[in-house]
Structure 1
Amino acid sequence: MTNLLHLDASILPADSSVSRTISAAVVARLSGLNPALKIVRRDLVADPLAHMTLASLPPAHPASVPGGEAARAASAAVLEEFLAADIVVIGAPMYNFTIPTQLKAWIDRILVPGQTFRYGPDGVAGLAAGKRVIAVLSHGGFYGEDTPYAAAEHTGSYLRAVLGFIGIAAPEFILAEGIARGEAQRAASLEAAHGAVAALTL
């Protein structure tokens, strides 16, 4: 059994969100390739996690403190979902140059010492190697290396750093950019993103 965890963090509804549209297409594509996929869906906007506090950390976190049992249980469930997943699909729009706060709250639940990484004499070791992560990024403008705003791109760069820290060295990115630059550009970006989805394999 292969487990797939599907996350969305766009505040927009599905019919107007590029990241939600493309992340759903990714899941549909992988499900078509393997109908036996077990899919767990977590909408981080419809069912948001509170911002991190000591009381809301998963019980496995060494800094976790007693109290707030419901919040700690919710955090533990998030961590368990991630640890059980073989494939993780993340819909991550860019908001103010970085990921949505809803997605950051989720990340704060999965970066747990002893569970997804550990420190040792040789530095940090990621413990989540072997998971496949496909992140769908949507940008209103253009943030490539050859653009004036390259230094402001903290969506893909942040996710790459976080995932690499826990041992996922080669996350896959599907990017739709320039979606606020007019209908023609939005359509072209969606077409390119759907083309990347169609090329996915298992």
Structure 2
Amino acid sequence: MTTDALVLDTAAQDLLFREARTANTFTEEPVSDEQIQAIYELVKFGPTALNQQPLRVVLVRSAEARERLVQHLSDGNKAKTAAAPLTAILAVDNEFHEELPTLFPHFPQAKDAFFSERPAREASAQMNGALQAGYFIIGVRAAGLAAGPMTGYDAEGINKEFFADGEHSVLAVVNIGKPGENAWYPRSPRLAYDQVVTTV
């Protein structure tokens, strides 16, 4: 079996990947700040280019903030987000380069050498923020919770609503909690190894 080639035990493989699914319903069990902090403290070690850390997480807890968010979601995402125990807005900081002298100390000049222009920063923030968002979802699963990531929303509306300073941009919206009744859609197919991997 190919699983024999992995160091991670089968139960952990299932928890993080094979049995994990995007949840569409959740129980009312709350998700604590301590759980989210534990997730972050784990996934912050995921690799990024030049150790840049553009991901920013906004936890939407108040009813007022939830209403402000839901109005910008596509119709299919509104009800499940309104009912989720916790929703996180994953965004990127387009001024992440200001932290590079601390985060990448052996080449502090990277801040100006690579990212002096806003378009270059935005492109890099999107790429590396997406990597961090993927790590975040795996971290949610590692905490025994389910994630419901969504990109069906009015990005401009969310940015104006939550990031009016223009320095941050929404990347994804993720519902988080214990899966509820009928939480899963049927598992969609995946491409086979030979369809994806080639050797040159």
TM-score > 0.5, shorter chain as reference:
no
Structure in which a larger fraction of residues adopt strand: 1
TM-score normalised by length of structure 2? 0.25
* Bigger RCO of structures 1 and 2 (CA < 8 A, at least 6 apart): 2
- Bigger Rg, which one: 2
